[in-house]
Structure 1
Amino acid sequence: MYDPTRLAALVAVAEAGSITRAAERLGYTPPALSQQVAKLERETGATLLVRSHRGTRLTGAGELLVVRARRVLDEMELARHELARLTGLSGGTLRLGTFQTAGIHLLPPVLSAFRRAHPDVALAVADHEPPHGIAAVAAGEVDLALTHTYQPAPPVPLPSSVGVEPVLVEELVLVTAPGHLLAGGSTRLPLSELAGQPLISMAPDHPPRQGVEAALAEAGATPAVLVETPGYALVCALVSAGLGVAVVPEMVAATAATPVGTRLLEPGDLRRTISVAHRTDVTAPAADAFRALLRGAFGRAGRHRTGGRPDVRGHRDDAPQGS
């Protein structure tokens, strides 16, 4: 049986008239598309394309296979639509709530995967700063909401109709101006070493951060600048300018737009958990499919985040633009 991806590559080359134009259409590089066609030629045992400086043309074997390939691909597309209708994933709208950083850097690759799998489902994304996304799910304003909690913090009560599923857990780390004394060394910095340090206080009245702020105050960090709204880009910029130090999620530190030094803290129990909130009392195929993609993208739920930008099947990415 021939690989449908390679059949689609051959059809694209036949329609575009060149490897380069077909690669642009499919989102491949020309060498990658050439490899797909070469593998198909090995599978068939026949030469399918003839390349020249004027472009690419099909051989007789290629023309025969393209006719059959179009039929196969059409049947597969028809089957996809029929299965989507059967499972409730044809038509309708998936409504998502998100906070800013997740919306910019975590949500897009998963949404792209969802759109490829279920192109007939419309998408709507709304901004819901945690913990307000949970209330939006309970009220039926959105189907799912990305939200977060910080540790230490008291547990957030959930409406009876809402459940939350952890997506990833990350430590909070110290960020400093480049070259700062506290940023040096490879060992964890005891929290007590922050005593007397000027602190850029991240949203001290923001409920999710209050437990973290209390822990920093107990360690003796001295508030120097109060950032009253959740905005990690501003926090990192102020730190970079030497106005103080701050404690932020590890992903934020790794993707800061301004240069900062970073250091892990001891004990490593200051954390942020990003979760997806969903209804537990209704059947929602589109929402369930999206949650499954989130699980696939981030691996085992609750796994500690260590930074980086993996592919669409495993995005672990965030940014300092928001909370």
Structure 2
Amino acid sequence: MFDLRQLQVLSEVARTGTYTAAAEALGYSQPAISYQMRTLERTVGAALVTRSGRGVRLTQVGQTLARHAETVLAALRTAADEVSTLTSTGGGQVRLAAMQSGCVALVPAALGALRRTHPELEVVVTQTECPVSHRLVLAGEVDLAMMCDLELDQLDQSDQGGRRDGQSVLPDQRLLRLPLLSDRRCVLLPVDHPLAASPTVELADLAGERWVLESGRDRFLAACQDAGFTPRVAATSDDQLTIHCLVANRIGVAIMNELGVGAHTDPRVVARPLRDWPARRIFALLWPDMAKVAPVAALLQSLRATADDYTRRSAGRVGSR
């Protein structure tokens, strides 16, 4: 049998890549981490790590055991959460991580609905990028995450599963992935722009424009290159309201996902879907056992209902603004 403390040490070494960082994260001394790893290697009967520069790299045996260790530790966290909920006099707490557009367009409405049906339930929200949310779910630091990915079957092999923009995450077979909705990539244009009357816009038709871009732009720049131009960047912002205002004041045109488009209304701005651009899939990500925890299940139900309502209301909205 494996010692849970040693499995926790292995998991942290796998996450951080060094004994020193693992010791700091767990509140141990570095020699204590080394001792726990040596003891675990004797139990396994094989080396779990090898030296790699100033850090360590897991062997194949180490990777296999670390993967199972994450599953075991996640199951224990789920058990602790469920027991805490059953013994709590209140309604429990759920920790949710979500991307920016989800926080703007879906999460507030879902939490508002949940407050009416489960007034005693507390939800703690962290806004962060999808790769960070993925790591937080794996580490048990959040109970579930609202994330996005591109339609993988529409991406070419050079795009590495949609990760070229630094936002998307490939499917993780250890985790439960529950679809919520999909949305399109849109262009924000001044209302009197020549292309504002078009139902959809071709990227190549915007070659001469100035652009307001988010900092995560690698995939967009690659698409522009494929379309035969390099965009002139007039401004950089990751704040959706700022982007809307810059477009409204003719600083440049912008691209934004459909969820973000609906977050702000300005009569000086219209949104038109980008032609031939892959849709995003919006989904909830969590450890399978967490879906059985009553507070988490309640939040999932509210998120799904809100997403369904958003899909019904948004049908035909983008392209008519």
TM (normalized to structure 1)?
A: 0.57
Q: Pairwise mapping of residues 77-88 of structure 1 onto structure 2 (< 5 A)?
A: none
| Contact 1:224 1:244 (8 Å CA) reproduced | no
Matched with 1:143 is 143
Q: Pairwise mapping of residues 54-69 of structure 1 onto structure 2 (< 5 A)?
A: none
Identity of aligned residues (%): 28
Matched with 1:297 is 306
Tell me the CA shift for residue 140 of structure 1: 0.8
| Aligned partner of 1:263 among 263, 272, 289 | 272
| Contact 2:187 2:255 (8 Å CA) reproduced | yes
Detail structure 1 runs of 4+ shifted over 6 Å in the superposition: 85-89, 300-304
Q: Pairwise mapping of residues 212-231 of structure 1 onto structure 2 (< 5 A)?
A: 212-225=220-233, 228=236, 230-231=238-239
Tell me the CA shift for residue 301 of structure 1: 11
Q: Distance in 2 between matches of 1:88 and 1:154?
A: 45
Q: Pairwise mapping of residues 92-111 of structure 1 onto structure 2 (< 5 A)?
A: 92-111=92-111
Matched with 1:169 is 182
Q: Pairwise mapping of residues 184-195 of structure 1 onto structure 2 (< 5 A)?
A: 184-185=197-198, 187-195=199-207
Q: Distance in 2 between matches of 1:301 and 1:257?
A: 16
Identify if the C-alpha distance between structure 1 residues 253 and 294 changes in structure 2 by more than 3 Å, giving closer, same or farther: closer
Q: Distance in 1 between matches of 2:89 and 2:309?
A: 25
Q: Secondary structure at the match of 2:179?
A: strand
| Contact 2:207 2:231 (8 Å CA) reproduced | no
Identify if the C-alpha distance between structure 1 residues 136 and 226 changes in structure 2 by more than 3 Å, giving closer, same or farther: farther
Tell me the CA shift for residue 193 of structure 1: 1.4
TM (normalized to structure 2)?
A: 0.57
Report the structure, 1 or 2, having the larger helix content. Answer: 2
Q: Distance in 1 between matches of 2:256 and 2:172?
A: 29
Tell me the CA shift for residue 88 of structure 1: 9.0
Identify if the C-alpha distance between structure 1 residues 241 and 112 changes in structure 2 by more than 3 Å, giving closer, same or farther: closer
Q: Secondary structure at the match of 2:192?
A: coil
Tell me the CA shift for residue 220 of structure 1: 3.6
What letter matches 2:194 in structure 1? L
Q: Distance in 1 between matches of 2:130 and 2:89?
A: 28
Q: Secondary structure at the match of 1:131?
A: helix
Q: Secondary structure at the match of 1:235?
A: helix
| Contact 2:105 2:259 (8 Å CA) reproduced | no
Tell me the CA shift for residue 248 of structure 1: 1.4
| Aligned partner of 2:255 among 242, 247, 254 | 247
Identify if the C-alpha distance between structure 1 residues 245 and 161 changes in structure 2 by more than 3 Å, giving closer, same or farther: same
Identify if the C-alpha distance between structure 1 residues 307 and 140 changes in structure 2 by more than 3 Å, giving closer, same or farther: farther
Runs of 5+ unmatched residues, structure 1: 1-84, 309-315, 317-323
| Contact 1:146 1:276 (8 Å CA) reproduced | yes
What letter matches 1:240 in structure 2? A
Tell me the CA shift for residue 147 of structure 1: 1.8
Identify if the C-alpha distance between structure 1 residues 93 and 255 changes in structure 2 by more than 3 Å, giving closer, same or farther: closer
Instruction: Give the CA RMSD over aligned residues.
Output: 3.4
What letter matches 1:263 in structure 2? R
Deviation track 1:128-158 (CA, whole Å, cap 9, x = no partner) reads 2222112111111111111223455543234
What letter matches 1:184 in structure 2? A
Runs of 5+ unmatched residues, structure 2: 1-84, 162-168
Matched with 2:196 is 183
Q: Distance in 2 between matches of 1:266 and 1:175?
A: 13
Mean Cα deviation higher: 143-152 or 285-294? 143-152
Matched with 2:124 is 124
Identify if the C-alpha distance between structure 1 residues 111 and 281 changes in structure 2 by more than 3 Å, giving closer, same or farther: same
Q: Secondary structure at the match of 2:129?
A: coil
| Contact 1:239 1:245 (8 Å CA) reproduced | yes
Look at both structures and tell me which one has the larger radius of gyration over its CA atoms: 1
Q: Distance in 1 between matches of 2:219 and 2:89?
A: 41
Q: Secondary structure at the match of 1:182?
A: coil
Identify if the C-alpha distance between structure 1 residues 293 and 256 changes in structure 2 by more than 3 Å, giving closer, same or farther: closer
Deviation track 1:206-243 (CA, whole Å, cap 9, x = no partner) reads 2xx53233213322454222655522222222222222
Q: Distance in 1 between matches of 2:188 and 2:147?
A: 23
Identify if the C-alpha distance between structure 1 residues 244 and 119 changes in structure 2 by more than 3 Å, giving closer, same or farther: closer
| Contact 2:105 2:262 (8 Å CA) reproduced | no
Q: Secondary structure at the match of 1:299?
A: helix
